[in-house]
Amino acid sequence: MKALVYHGPGNKAWEEVPDARILQPTDVVVRVETTTICGTDLHILKGDVPAVTEGRILGHEGVGTVAEVGAAVSTLEVGDRVIISCISACGACSYCHQGLYAHCLADEGTSGIGWIFGHLIDGTQAELVRVPFADNSLYKVPEGVSDEAAVMLSDILPTGFEIGVRYGRVKPGDVVAVVGAGPVGLASIMTSSLYGAARIIALDLDTHRLEQAIGFGATDAVNSAEADWVDQVKAMTDGLGVDVAIEAVGIPATFDACTRIVRPGGSVANVGVHGAPVELALQDLWIMDIAITTGLVSTNTTPMLLKLVAQRKLAAEKFATHHFTFDEFLDAYDTFGRAAETKALKVVIKR
């Protein structure tokens, strides 16, 4: 089969590799028909994720058809169309029983890390992928849900919702600010309305992404390159600050921005993946009664979000802005890597 293989920082290739195959009775092999690229893949290529070793097939998002089923798999059959979740879950350990699949203790890759595809085991940017613990790590795609919509449920929609909206404790009537209007930030914007946010403010340096944010449900947009951006946000909240500030970039400046605009008693939900330390100004924050949360998506809300997508309550396909074939994988990476220039949100790569 062919796959997108990591060959150390800055090096990747779409090349021939051995076919994925069943190793454990709880595995299935999925014929990948649609996949995409995540910002985390770009972090890996920069060398920011040292656990990813040379020769690893990248990717943790995908939609495909079950091609082979292990002897212990009970809920899936050959021919089933499925979403490959970015998080693998055994379903039996103590963390899985809590719904905290991100910390699954199963012995696959490294115990205690649910994100294994394209990280600790071979991933989904390939013609075939082995999926461990398939009964708990795959979701059947309902009729009428397109691949473009379904693939967004592998990662970005549950990430934006679980780590941004749920961990941020959004409740009816809240004013929510989302700092960073990339794909995950837009997912937080899209799903904040599920919990009744009264006002959703998007902040970004990119005018195009701010325009996109309005289409994804933001009520207001603030360009954080403007000198008075904090004053603009405060003016929308009677001078108090927002109830929930969601960080969706992963750099010190955007985390600091969240702490500057949250009101006393509010929440800062960090969604972005940080590659460098962030200074926490506790000397200023200790008196504010704010909650700061972090997390890796567990995808325990994927079934609920899938129902909303199937009923056209969430237009997940809107994230797909550029389309490529498997033979154009390197072009897709180039386009996604230059998102500010190409205006790409998510690139969809199909057979």
Does position 319 have pLDDT exceeding 90, yes or no?
A: yes
Which residues in 54-64 are b (16+ Cβ under 10 Å) and which e?
Answer: eebbbbbbbbb
Are 258 and 234 within 8 A, CB to CB? no
For the residues 152-179, what does the mean pLDDT come to?
98
Q: Which residue has the tokens 């600790």?
A: 120
pTM of the predicted model, to two decimals?
0.95
> What is the CATH topology of the domain spanning 2-155+299-350?
Quinone Oxidoreductase; Chain A, domain 1 (3.90.180)
Burial class (CB in 10 A: 0-12, 13-18, 19+), 91: middle
Q: How confident is the model at residue 133 (pLDDT cuts 50, 70, 90)?
A: very high
Say which residues have a Cβ less than 8 Å from residue 55's Cβ, sequence separation at least 6.
5, 6, 7
Which tokens go with 277? 């330390």
**Residue 311 to residue 133: CA distance in whole angstroms:** 28
**Residue 39 to residue 41: CA distance in whole angstroms:** 5
Q: Using alpha carbons, select from 244, 242, 254 the residue that is nearest to residue 278.
A: 254
For the residues 116-141, what does the mean pLDDT come to?
97
Q: How confident is the model at residue 106 (pLDDT cuts 50, 70, 90)?
A: confident
**Residue 351 to residue 306: CA distance in whole angstroms:** 23
What is the C-alpha end-to-end distance of the chain, expressed in Å? 12
Q: Which residue has the tokens 């071979």?
A: 122
Residues carrying CATH 3.40.50.720, the chain: 159-293
At residue 43, the 3 state secondary structure works out as helix
For the segment 232-287, what is each residue's pLDDT rounded down to a tens digit? 999 999 999 999 999 999 999 999 999 999 999 999 999 998 888 999 999 999 99
Q: Using alpha carbons, select from 230, 166, 158 the residue that is nearest to residue 197.
A: 166
User: Residue 346's Cα: distance from chain center in Å?
Assistant: 11
For the segment 22-62, what is each residue's pLDDT rounded down to a tens digit? 999 999 999 999 999 999 999 899 998 889 999 999 999 99
Superfamily of domain 159-293: NAD(P)-binding Rossmann-like Domain (3.40.50.720)
Residues carrying CATH 3.90.180.10, the chain: 2-155+299-350
Which residues in 117-142 are b (16+ Cβ under 10 Å) and which e?
Answer: bbbbbbbbbbbbbbbbbbbbbbbebe
